[in-house]
Amino acid sequence: MKLESQQPAVSAPRWRSAVPGVVWPVVGTDASAHLQSLLFQLEQSQWLAPDQLRDHQLGQLKLVLGHAIKTVPYYATAFRDFDIDTMDWTSFAGLPGLERSTLQAEFAALSSRQSPASHGRLTLGESSGSTGTPVKFRGTAATQLFWEALTLREHLWHDRDFAGKLAAIRVKLEHARLPDWGPPVSTVLQSGPAVALDVRTDIQQQLEWLRRQDPDYLITHASNLGALAELSIERGVRLPKLRQARTYSEALRPDLRDRVRLAWGIEIADVYSCCEAGVIALQCPLHEHYHVQSENLIVEVLHPDGQECAPGETGEVVLTTLHNFAMPLIRYRIGDYAELGEPCSCGRGLPVLKRIHGRQRNMLKLPDGTTHWPSFPGGLWRAVAPIEQFQLVQVALDRIEAKYIMNRELTPAEADQLENLLQERMGFPFRIDLKKVGSIDRAASHKFEDFISDLSPSSR
């Protein structure tokens, strides 16, 4: 789907100069020079043919694998007999995968004993993940530089007006007013102001805050954006200056784009990333699918037998980082599933992910053994009753617990109607246990999942 914009004209980016009195052409700082150098190269590389991108990836991969075998105890053992000099994509695909549980248990063994000093300061991060199980990881100033460059690429792809006002409603943020958009934008560009709010703020207060702030751009979690859009529709609240909503951290519900269009007449730009590996894929500026950031990492989408998926097929996402010499992640199984897409008509050679499905625990299993990712648009619920939020949990092969938040109990007629709709949508006459609750818990990372499988791993 091509996205047609009816937003106001965008101001030309104003680059930040480190030399007073020199504003055209500008002279940047060392930090901005590094970013602009990467951006220049990324502008060229996105148009390379897929085979050319793969050739560049293979060359970089050999360097990071050689470093991993020499300096990382885990890989020194696991890849002891691997011949890097003769490596091709077939032999690479034969390397064992790295499980998330292994990263948790073998943090020290997966850390390089000799991270190159030229890669800059070592960093230590921790991600709780959607399940709340912590994962520690290492990085360097070089990996941070790539994250920042790809963040800027995303801004430039979507032709944002940096003179506008940015509102951020995110986890780990205090209520704040800022003079600019902050790094990496402020490193290289002049920008308008930014405002921030903790996502744990009550949703009604969030909407009132947005109405007062009247921003040009909004970034928040996908589920939080959905709640804001629904409340705006219900109360007839418009955000007249808002040009685009940016989402991250969670898989988008299929109906969310339409609800945001109805609420505010704008589009969503989504980012697919993980803390351990950085930016994975960015939404195409012309379509709703995603382009893998091949300059940053290798993405495989694999069937359970390890074979590569074809376009239109869904498989497990497996990542290999290309620049993290402090903790290389080789064929890292992050637990996500995605659908591979056809080459994009925009002309970029970067591979396409048509849709990000989420974790295996977000997959519905039918009693006959078949599985699929369920979709329950909010409109399905709202057509029955004024339900504010819902979550479905598969607790047995034939039973679903449906939690909902509403200012009253469902009537018997509403409950029957909703059960029938859910059974029809899921393709099986599941027993539906409807349960009114005061709140629905989120993961430690603040991710919200509208469907969770609580089946034992052996039953999934």
Q: 360: pLDDT confidence band, cut at 50, 70 and 90? A: low
CATH value at residue 284: 3.40.50.12780
Tokens describing residue 339:
């659908």
Model confidence pLDDT, tens digit, residues 153-184: 999 999 999 999 999 998 777 788 999 999 99
Tokens describing residue 144:
């941070």
**183 within some domain:** no
Q: Which range of residues forms the domain containing residue 102?
A: 27-160+243-360
Q: What is the pLDDT of residue 3?
A: 47
**234 within some domain:** no
Model confidence pLDDT, tens digit, residues 283-325: 999 999 999 999 999 999 999 999 999 999 999 999 999 999 9
Percent of the chain with pLDDT over 90: 65
Tell me the mean pLDDT in the region 11-15: 79
Whether residue 347 sits in one domain with residue 274: yes
Model confidence pLDDT, tens digit, residues 339-350: 999 999 999 999
The verdict on whether omega for the bond into residue 50 sits within 30 degrees of 0, i.e. cis, is no
Q: What is the pLDDT of residue 440?
A: 82
Q: What is the pLDDT of residue 1?
A: 46
Check pLDDT > 90 for residue 26.
no
Shortest CA distance to 267 belongs to which of 233, 340, 217, 329?
217
Specify the number of domains making up the chain: 2
The C-alpha atoms of residue 58 and residue 80 are separated, in whole angstroms, by 19
Whether residue 386 sits in one domain with residue 355: no
Q: What is the pLDDT of residue 2?
A: 43
Whether residue 413 sits in one domain with residue 351: no
Whether residue 264 sits in one domain with residue 143: yes
Whether residue 403 sits in one domain with residue 329: no
Lowest mean per-residue pLDDT among 127-136, 164-173, 182-191, 418-427: 127-136
Tell me the mean pLDDT in the region 244-253: 89
Check pLDDT > 50 for residue 5.
no
Tell me the mean pLDDT in the region 415-436: 90
Tokens 């029957």 appear where?
Answer: 416
Shortest CA distance to 285 belongs to which of 160, 158, 162, 161?
158
Q: 4: pLDDT confidence band, cut at 50, 70 and 90? A: very low
